[in-house]
Amino acid sequence: MARGEDRFALRVACGSYLLATSMARQQGDAERRKKMQKVITIKREAIAETFPRRFNRPPSAREARVALVSGRWSDRERLGFVIEMAFTYPFLPYELKIDSDNFTRALVELAGVVGVDESVVDEIESVKEDAEKELKHSSALRKLALGGGVLAGVAIIAAAPYAVPALGVATSAATGGAAATAHGLALLGGGSLAAGGTGMAGGMAVISAAGAGAAGMAGLSARGLINELSPEAVEVQLVKTMVAFALIDEPKGGAEAILQELDEECDDLARTLERERGLNEKRAGRVRDLERKFDSYRRAIAWMERVASSEPN
């Protein structure tokens, strides 16, 4: 098993593949199922190309399950992984309609593979819905709600190109091939920035709860990532961070450190916004994008502060 970020990138790729396989199996429309199977074939080839130390051929679903569960998993890693998978669309970069119930069943099945109970998936969906309401101005988040057809395809694919530079830092010689392109990252991770080796939610997820740890953010500034992502992609990553913050137990002082980091990122956004307002028309697109990101950050931080204050000491 690869170490650190490589290990988590492999887990995300295998998880996305297993989600796709389960959803194709459940698909009632024969033509759509055939297309899903074609995408799965491409995905299998991309996994083998990207992780040649692990696979010398495109893996079967069984081989992907074995790779997924190998190595040590902490409880925090298991929960963080399932949260990551709850925010993926496993057929990216292709657009195929999926049934929300099929996705949920596939997620429950995948969670079971790594030893996470179905009730936890229900809890993730409940907290995710609440977090999305906090950022309710986002059309991308409405698509992300399970039941939205193509799950945030446009929003998350916009994030993929920025994940590419992280590969040189995070994945070393263990990965390559398809992962060297934005298309490949989308294919491997279903929109998860972790497919680029950047940890749970790319550079932005200061929680680092899904097992890559702080090393998963090495060389990739969260603040730099914010500037590169679309407002919709920022909101998706924020909601993921909110869900993890609410559900994953942090070590002593961890919650305060997370909120402080987010506050600092928000302050950076405010300074950037002020500078851009002095250089652009009032309703310029880049100004509106920054305003939306800033507002999303403020809403997310306020929501997380309420969560933190409601938890027992």
Q: What interhelical angle do 75-86 and 231-247 show, nearest 10?
A: 150
Q: What is the pLDDT of residue 313?
A: 56
CA angle 216, 222, 228 (to 5 degrees): 120
Residues 184, 186, 188, 189, Cα dihedral to 10°: 150
- Kindly tell me the burial class for residue 277, based on how many C-beta atoms sit within 10 Å of its own C-beta (0-12, 13-18, 19 or more): middle
Secondary structure tally for the chain: helices H, strands E? 15, 1
Q: What residues pair up with 202 in beta bridges, in sequence order?
A: 200
DSSP-assigned letter for residue 202? E
Residue-level pLDDT, tens digit, the chain, 313 residues: 445 447 888 898 999 999 999 999 999 999 999 999 999 999 999 999 989 999 999 999 999 999 999 988 988 889 989 998 998 889 988 888 888 899 999 999 999 999 999 999 999 999 999 999 998 755 454 444 433 334 444 334 334 433 333 333 333 334 455 554 555 656 666 665 444 443 333 334 434 333 333 223 333 345 566 777 788 878 888 888 899 889 988 766 778 888 888 898 899 999 999 999 999 999 999 999 999 999 999 999 999 999 998 876 5
**DSSP-derived 3-state class of residue 200:** strand
The rounded distance, in Å, linking the Cα atoms of 3 and 6 is: 6
* pLDDT value at residue 37: 98
Q: Is the peptide bond before 59 cis (omega within 30 degrees of 0)?
A: no
Question: Count of CB atoms within 10 A of residue 253's CB?
Answer: 9
